[in-house]
Amino acid sequence: MTEVFEQFYDRLVMVLDIPLGWMLYCGRDLPLVLLAAGTAFAMLLLRKRVSDQEFLGRCAGDRDTLRRRIREAKKAGDKELLQKLRAAAARVSLKMMRREGRPLLVSLLPIMLLAAWAYARLGHYPPQSSVPIAVSADFDPVLAGTVVYMLPEAGVTATGGWVQIAENVELAGGEAVARAEWLLVFAGRKEPYLLTVRGGGESADLSVILDRRTYRVPERFYPGVITAVRIHLAERRFLGILPGIEKLMIPPWMLAYLLLAVPFYLLFKKILRVH
């Protein structure tokens, strides 16, 4: 099932490259800006199309009027009127919330597609030839202390050797795995490299492409003794400095995207006059 999903994901990303791939030619930071702006603009166009803008506009006007009257009631110290105005404002907000379901559902699929593409294309910087790159493999904990190896590949140099000893590692969630790491240097070539890791009587592959504007999905998961193989690529950080939030599992590219998308959404909302 995992292999089928990964194949589907790879094909989906290649299809999305057709309308979105041009952004990869815009430097390191501009693609995130363009993606955030494009997402905000598209969401607002969809919202304007599928929502009852006339009704929401009237509600927004009523809400602004009630807020003004609530401030006046507070200044006047009229508690009874204040209570009535707050109840009316709550009813208006509830009416508006009931109309939010359809725009959210319509926006959900485009957002998911954009997120899928961004993870595969904007999460990391593509690997380059002649630059040392770490590759690791996770195994069932029972293989800790045993010999595992990677098959030698033409054009690839393993600076620490192809044979490694799997060592116990505790993951963030407390789960234990046996992990082995290799430091590899790739020679430049057009064809992808296929790395094959073996251990515990099983093997797992990871495809690597170099010197391009794209990269293959940097990690693969498996259901057997070998549980994962990953290439450790440099994470894309906006302006080279913005980190992610590891505790919330928000990578740097996603945090930058969210911080950019919100102000773009508010700006375009005013320009397009969307309620």
- Shared-domain flag, residues 112 and 23: yes
- Shared-domain flag, residues 12 and 29: yes
Domain assignment of residue 12, yes or no: yes
Q: Which of the 8 DSSP states describes residue 227?
A: E
Residues 62, 64: Cα–Cα separation, whole Å:
6
pLDDT tens-digit readout, 48-60? 888 888 888 888 8
Residue span of the structural domain in which 22 resides: 2-50+102-123+250-272
Domain assignment of residue 10, yes or no: yes
Residue 82 has pLDDT above 90, yes or no: no
Domain assignment of residue 243, yes or no: no
**Contact criterion met (CB below 8 Å) for 31 and 122:** yes
Looking up tokens 């380059």, which residue turns up? Answer: 128
**Contact criterion met (CB below 8 Å) for 129 and 172:** no
Residue 1 has pLDDT above 60, yes or no: no
How would residue 88 be classed by pLDDT, with cut points 50, 70 and 90? confident
- Shared-domain flag, residues 171 and 213: yes
- Shared-domain flag, residues 41 and 74: no
- Shared-domain flag, residues 119 and 9: yes
- Shared-domain flag, residues 7 and 115: yes
Task: Please give the full DSSP string across 55-66, using - where no structure is assigned.
Answer: HHHHHHHHHHHH
Q: How many domains does the chain have?
A: 3
- Shared-domain flag, residues 117 and 178: no
How would residue 2 be classed by pLDDT, with cut points 50, 70 and 90? low
- Shared-domain flag, residues 46 and 116: yes
Domain assignment of residue 240, yes or no: no
Q: Which helix (H) or strand (E) holds 219?
A: strand 219-221
Domain assignment of residue 184, yes or no: yes
- How crowded is residue 138: how many other Cβ atoms within 10 Å of its Cβ? 24
- Shared-domain flag, residues 116 and 170: no
- Shared-domain flag, residues 112 and 171: no
Domain assignment of residue 37, yes or no: yes
- Shared-domain flag, residues 169 and 185: yes
Domain assignment of residue 242, yes or no: no
pLDDT tens-digit readout, 8-50? 888 899 899 999 999 999 988 999 999 999 999 988 888 888 8
Task: List, as own/partner pairs, every contact residues 73-82 make where C-beta atoms lie below 8 angstroms and the sequence separation is at least 24, other chains included.
Answer: none
Q: Is the dihedral of CA 32, 33, 34, 40 positive or negative?
A: positive
